């Protein structure tokens, strides 16, 4: 943007930059090496062409026969976003803060958002490629299915699947493509899965007449019953976890009172994550487990401190995000239900304790 407004000063700025390097006793070959290893546009968009195209879309450049040129009149400076335009932020409170404080105040930025983002730098270009490809695909109605070549972390292998892409969802640590179609490793099954964008190695749009498209997807297309992003939102509200396609199960946990007061009480984890009484915890155990499991767990429950606190929730079975959250609360938490998760955590704790046996 600085170049657009003050192009005449660009040469002067470059000269000053080179003078500073010269004063620092940098050799020309060292400068070349540094520029090769740290290119000015290495961590922005894939190419300068993409940047110029975006500036043209925003009205800051005009297209010419051989590229782009300066516009005659500057476009209107974008107005601060309204909360109604930030509906992609799933927390309404955060959307309102962003609407109010997105712009600088008296020359200073006063609102910042930092998220856990595990996508490595060398994959940012790939993520952008898939975003752009999907955006163009979704602009056509109805969107077409895609063939994905994907590195599956759970299977530790490369998979090829045909899926109908629904939306991109940022969850916890990175952006995912939510898709309905073939399941990695079980191509005969049609179900929902989430594909982390940086692990997609190839993405090819298919015509609806393509023979590789599963019959179930073709039938949904012909009957105009293809799924929508709203489906995912409903399922996410029904149970805790991002694997919304997994069955929902009853979760019951015990927390020590002091830790719960500091970090869990008066905080929102999920719509179904709610505090229950000791009596309600007993009732959930009695309704859920076999007779033998009930007896064991109710006996254990009777030995726990009376001041401890209990929470129940519906969660997605085997969802890794929920398991990681529960692990982060150790040793202040005890999983009571479901029985399978309790047994899994018990084994993990035994194995973990062995690391410190010395």
Print the domain residue range for 30: 2-70
Q: Considering just the CA atoms, what is the radius of gyration of the chain in Å?
A: 27
pLDDT tens-place string over residues 309-325: 999 999 999 999 999 99
Average pLDDT on 278-284 reads 96
Q: Which of 227, 257, 272 is the last residue of a domain?
A: 227
Q: Tell me how long the chain is.
A: 358
Is residue 298 one of the residues assigned to a domain? Answer: yes
Give this prediction's pTM: 0.76
Strand ranges inside 124-185, DSSP E = 146-152, 157-171, 174-183
Contact 236, 321 (CB under 8 A): no
> Residue 153 falls within a domain, yes or no?
yes
Q: Residues 193, 130: one domain?
A: yes
Domain boundary among 70, 87, 111: 70
Report if residue 95 sits inside a domain. no
User: Which residue intervals of 24-77 are DSSP H helices?
Assistant: 28-37, 48-57
Shared-domain flag, residues 350 and 252: yes
Same domain, 260 and 325: yes
Number of domains in the chain: 3
CA pair distance 174, 344, nearest whole angstrom? 26
Note whether 163 and 181 are within 8 A (CB).
yes
Predicted local confidence at residue 306, as pLDDT: 92
**Stretch 163-191: mean pLDDT:** 94
Is 217 in the same domain as 254?
A: no
Instruction: Based on the fold, state whether residues 155 and 187 are members of the same structural domain.
Output: yes
Which two structure tokens, joined as six digits, stand for 183?
A: 């399941």
Contact 235, 180 (CB under 8 A): no
Q: Quick one: 341 exposed, middle or buried, by C-beta within 10 A (0-12, 13-18, 19+)?
A: buried
**Does residue 339 sit in the same domain as residue 278?**
yes
Helix (H) or strand (E) holding 309: strand 309-316
What is the number of alpha carbons within 13 Å of residue 322 lying toward its C-beta? 27
Residue 264 lies in a domain: yes
Q: Is residue 14 one of the residues assigned to a domain?
A: yes
Residue 7 pLDDT level (bands cut at 50, 70, 90): very low
CA angle 81, 82, 86 (to 5 degrees): 85
Model pLDDT for residues 211-242, shown as the tens digit of each residue: 999 999 999 999 999 999 999 999 999 999 99
In-domain check, residue 36: yes
Is the bond preceding residue 153 a cis peptide, omega within 30 degrees? no
């Amino acid at each position: 943007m600085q170049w657009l407004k003050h192009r005449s000063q660009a040469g002067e700025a470059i000269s000053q930059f080179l003078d500073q390097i010269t004063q620092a006793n940098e050799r020309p070959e060292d400068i070349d090496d540094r520029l090769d290893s740290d290119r000015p546009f290495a961590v922005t968009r894939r190419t300068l062409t993409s940047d110029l195209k975006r500036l043209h879309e925003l009205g800051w450049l005009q297209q010419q026969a051989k590229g782009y040129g300066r516009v005659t009149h500057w476009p209107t400076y974008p107005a601060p976003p309204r909360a109604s335009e930030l509906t992609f932020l799933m927390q309404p409170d955060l959307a309102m803060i962003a609407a109010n404080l997105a712009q600088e105040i008296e020359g200073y930025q006063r609102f910042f958002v930092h998220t856990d983002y595990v996508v490595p730098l060398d994959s940012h270009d790939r993520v952008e490629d898939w975003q752009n490809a999907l955006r163009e695909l979704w602009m056509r109605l109805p969107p077409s299915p895609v063939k994905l070549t994907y590195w599956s972390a759970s299977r530790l292998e490369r998979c090829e699947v045909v899926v109908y892409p629904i939306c991109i969802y940022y969850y916890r640590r990175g952006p995912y493509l939510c898709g309905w179609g073939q399941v990695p490793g079980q191509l005969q099954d049609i179900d929902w899965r989430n594909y982390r964008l940086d692990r997609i190695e190839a993405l090819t749009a298919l015509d609806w007449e393509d023979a590789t498209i599963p019959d179930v997807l073709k039938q949904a297309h012909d009957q105009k019953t293809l799924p929508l992003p709203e489906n995912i939102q409903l399922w996410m509200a029904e149970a805790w976890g991002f694997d919304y396609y997994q069955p929902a199960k009853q979760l019951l946990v015990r927390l020590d009172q002091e830790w719960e007061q500091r970090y869990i009480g008066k905080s929102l984890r999920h719509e179904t994550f709610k505090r229950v009484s000791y009596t309600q915890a007993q009732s959930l155990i009695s309704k859920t487990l076999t007779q033998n499991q009930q007896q064991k767990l109710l006996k254990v429950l009777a030995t726990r401190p009376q001041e401890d606190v209990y929470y129940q929730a519906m969660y997605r079975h085997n969802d890794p995000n929920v398991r990681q959250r529960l692990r982060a609360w150790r040793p202040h938490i005890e999983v009571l239900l479901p029985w399978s998760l309790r047994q899994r955590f018990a084994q993990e704790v035994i194995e973990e304790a062995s690391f410190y046996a010395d």
